[in-house]
Homo-oligomer: A and B are copies of this chain.
Amino acid sequence: MARMTVTALEGVPEVEPGDDLATLLVDAASELLDGDIVVVASKVVSKAEGRAVRGRRRDDVIAEETIDVVARRGDLQIVRTRHGLVLAAAGVDSSNVEPGVLLPLPLDPDASASALRARLQALCGVGIGVVISDTAGRPWRVGQTDIAIGAAGVTPVVDLAGTVDRQGNELHVTAPAVADEVAAAAQLVMSKAAGTPFAVVRGLSHLVIAPDGPGARSIVRRAEDDLFRSGS
């Protein structure tokens, strides 16, 4: 029977610059099994990587992360970040940090995922996938869902082209963005307010791959494929 479990890890201390997330994660998990996917909130990756800035104007920090502004209304800026992600305020976070501190996204979330994966696999001796998650709005939907901004050892998008349904029709359009769905599933158990930045997804070992793979950058739609680009 197809089943997955998603567990938020409790008892994780506040993450400080220089912390080894792999050790924190392994200490919080009762065990990690071959084929598990760990989901890590981008916030703690940024904190561990020393991305926090103090005493800077929020608009300046957002501008540094921005390639172009996609939409604007009042104080709300939705921008395309250096990673190609379309996020409110470029993903710069001021929640769950000390007052006056701003937390931009990791510089290269796929590289962060890859490094964390290597450390985790060295500590545990099993094959593990890593997804780094952040929160994104949607133009036509209320509220936000978590998406994968970094990934290593996880298939980001399953291309069903060429597979056939029970009636023999080809399922040619469907390409589930499973790394985003893993991030969304993890959000359901990772409460931001409660400080649970790690979740373990078990039961999706078919999505865990030996190489790091194309990463979450492969889920970013190329600008030339964007049917809704401003001015197009």
Contacts and interface: CB of A to CB of B under 8 A. Distances in A.
Interface of A: 1-8, 10, 14, 70-73, 78, 80, 85-86, 88, 94-99, 135, 138-147, 156-158, 160, 163-171, 173-178, 180-182, 184-185, 187-196, 203-204, 218-221, 226-228
27 contacts: A2-B7, A2-B189, A2-B196, A88-B173, A95-B169, A95-B170, A96-B169, A97-B167, A99-B167, A99-B168, A135-B176, A140-B220, A141-B221, A142-B157, A142-B177, A143-B156, A143-B157, A144-B174, A144-B177, A145-B145, A145-B180, A160-B192, A160-B193, A165-B193, A181-B184, A188-B204, A228-B228
B86 A140 contact: yes
A195 B192 CA distance: 35
- Most B C-beta atoms less than 10 A away, residue of A140, A188, A194: A140
